[in-house]
Amino acid sequence: MFKKVLIANRGEIAARIIRTCEKMGISTVAIYSEADAESQHVKMASESYLVGKPRVNESYLNIDKILKVAQETGVDAIHPGYGLLSENTTFATRCEEVGITFIGPKPEVIARMGSKIESRKAMAEAGVPIVPGISRSLTDVEEAVEVTKEIKFPVMLKASAGGGGIGMQIVNDEEELRKAYEGNQRRATDFFGDGAMYIEKYVENPRHIEIQLLADNYGNTIYLWERDCSVQRRHQKVVEEAPSSFLDEETRTKMGEAAVKAAKSLEYSNAGTIEFLVDEQKNFYFLEMNTRLQVEHPVTEEITGIDLVEEQLKIAAGESLQLTQKEVKREGHAIEVRIYAEDPKTFFPSPGKITAFQLSEKPFVRNECAVSGGSVVTPYYDPMISKLIVTGQDREEAIEYMLLALNEYKIEGIKTNIPMLKEVIGHEVFKKGEATTSFVANYLQKKSVK
């Protein structure tokens, strides 16, 4: 097992990884920017090092500086968390070149799954259902128009290298497609350095359901059930839960087996997630693969009792999986909400100093955060400041627990999305398990959040 691990990340996920490393007796090295000098993860780690100025390209994305710290501190491995460098092929390759283990899959797998077009091809080859569309980049808008004549409107215009909803748009007719093409291509080029676009049939009113995988370096692959991430705003997840109340056992098993099949075809190792769109008839279609730990991983941990970060570390250190598929149990129901420093009416970021901070400490609550009273939320990073997870015996109890926990959650000095989260969890459509990816647009964005 590793003796020392550098966490190439910040905030709540860095703190989360440090806790598991401490449990396993592994020393930790934190990195931080000038803006994060007083952050919790910096204080928690065995050692901490400044890597640059506040902006991510000068600190958390500074590969040369991060690797210099890693080499000078003698770490065995680097855990990238999620976001930032977690799916950066160059970083994973550079780690290999200097003899430091990258805790994740091989660079070539990251690269293939990082391209939505290439990942579609890979899934089709593996026999995993994909949404009708094309698995190559469009040459221009005229070809896009021709493709829609075959698959029919509405369609989803997508950037191959996209993420977080950037470069993605639902279009309902030819005029809208022509207007959307150039703008989305330009945004994709600006954000990802890759303007390749493709088109899929738009699946109406789908659920967004993903399968958590673990795979070792010896061909052993298992799935740890599913997470329902259908409640989203602008393609960004807001609420996640496990298991899904929509799936029956037959569909759940089919999706798990399809995900395992896909991972094996890629010779995948470490933790990963296959995301699917599921229509009203429970037909499921591959959406994308995340070759890293997910923000919403705690709900899987809560229902299975498996520490995913611990498993990642063991796999990266060369250990084989100790669990078989039959041994993966699930118990109870877990829900996670993401707490953002943002105005609940406009959804604009709300940076500033947290003057008061109080969490629910009930036994059914799990808090994942890296802020406290006195912490300063800067404008330089993603506005998610914490995650609140609750676990109940069943979904009804978990919903009740979440509302209780949200009512006890107090943050002063900045605005947060807690009012919106209370409205989501308390909404009858959500309570009935009928929320699809259009839930927020249909029920919340048409009126002010109070």
What are the DSSP calls for 231-252, one per residue?
Answer: EEETTEEEEEEES-SS--HHHH
How far is 297 from 334, CA to CA, in rounded Å?
11
Q: Is the dihedral of CA 298, 163, 370, 238 positive or negative?
A: negative
* Contact call for residues 103 and 313 (beta carbons, < 8 A): yes
How far is 222 from 213, CA to CA, in rounded Å?
6
* Residue 28 φ then ψ, to 5°: -125, 145
Which one-letter amino acid corresponds to residue 393?
Q
Which residues on adjacent β-strands are paired with residue 366? 389
Catalytic residues: 292
Q: How far is CA 154 from CA 135, 176, 340, in A?
A: 18, 10, 32
Helix (H) / strand (E) containing 101: strand 101-102
Which residues on adjacent β-strands are paired with residue 270? 215
* Contact call for residues 227 and 242 (beta carbons, < 8 A): yes
What are the DSSP calls for 25-74, one per residue?
Answer: T-EEEEEEEGGGTT-HHHHHSSEEEEEE-SSGGGTTT-HHHHHHHHHHHT
Helix (H) / strand (E) containing 125: helix 116-126
Q: How far is CA 192 from CA 109, 424, 437, in A?
A: 18, 32, 25
How far is 423 from 446, CA to CA, in rounded Å?
13
For the chain, state the CA radius of gyration.
21
